[in-house]
Structure 1
Amino acid sequence: MDVRDIMSTDLVTVTRETSLQETVTRMLDDRVGSVVVVEGSQPVGIVTETDVLAVGTTYGRPFEEIPVTRAMSVNPVTVDPETSLEAAIEVLLDHGIKKLPIVDGDELVGIVTMTDFVYHQHDLATEAARLERDRTGPLEDSDGPV
């Protein structure tokens, strides 16, 4: 399985000119934990719930006065849709992140999160078992192949 099999394509994005207030409103309205900041269709940043909390306590100003660029992590780590699920998990763990934008060339096409991996855990276990069977062949017991 590749990340394309589990990624969300219903993306919530904002531009650099967006206020933090509008960004947070979008996150709440769409019930998401992050928003990708784009320039055209290219991701240039990502804002997470944690980023919002950090900026909110640091600046002590109303969110409508704070540009999203003050909260976003720049140059987000990304992978392409053909990235294996195993490789994507390694990227998340290696970078200590929970959200991974998916790009095709320079175009944002999806996002995968740790929650997606949890939600698809059964599918992933089934796929892992299938791959193991393909690699080692069918199990046999005293009554023949299983």
Structure 2
Amino acid sequence: MSVSDLKARDLMLIDIVYVRPDEKVAAVDLLMVRKSLGGVPILEYKTDKLVGIVTQRDIMLSRFRTSIAGMSVSNLMTKNPITVAPNASIKEILNLMLSHHIERLPVIDNDKLIGIIEPESILYAVHKKISSKE
């Protein structure tokens, strides 16, 4: 198996920190800072369905436009984010991330969030694949 054979399931992080739509932006911001996260997926309460994603950049930019005091993350999130299936190829993943300028790509299986792909997780998987061939 070569690097070009890697799939989303090989690249994704599975220890996912997520938040709920009604959580306050300030609390989500603090969570991301404390856990060194650039963004978090937002899951619906009853179904755990992915409804959005919010990034540190989203929060930073919103501070210039409006007060975030008391604002729920649902008011700031990117709704219906681009996602991939577990069998998506590394080529498809890289094309999506580059063409849409995104750094976090949720992996969805049967309407459930099962992982998230970030540039660092791609680098780790590629490095692991290359190192195993030496």
TM range (shorter): 0.7 to 0.9
Q: Which residue of the partner structure matches residue 108 of structure 1?
A: 113
CA distance in 2, matches of 1:125, 1:116: 14
Higher relative contact order (CA closer than 8 Å, sequence separation 6+): 2
CA distance in 2, matches of 1:118, 1:41: 28
Query: Any unmatched runs of 5+ in structure 2?
Result: 1-5
Matched positions, count: 126
SS of equivalent residue, structure 1 residue 102:
strand
What is the RMSD of the two structures over their aligned residues, measured on CA atoms?
1.8
Identity of aligned residues (%): 29
Distance 1:61 1:8, change over 3 A: closer
How does the TM-score come out when normalised to structure 2?
A: 0.84
Q: Which residue of the partner structure matches residue 55 of structure 2?
A: 48
How does the TM-score come out when normalised to structure 1?
A: 0.78
Is the strand fraction higher in 1 or 2? 1
Q: Which residue of the partner structure matches residue 79 of structure 2?
A: 74
Query: Any unmatched runs of 5+ in structure 1?
Result: 130-146
The one-letter code sitting in structure 2 at the alignment partner of 1:37 is I
CA contact (8 A) 1:12 1:26 kept: no
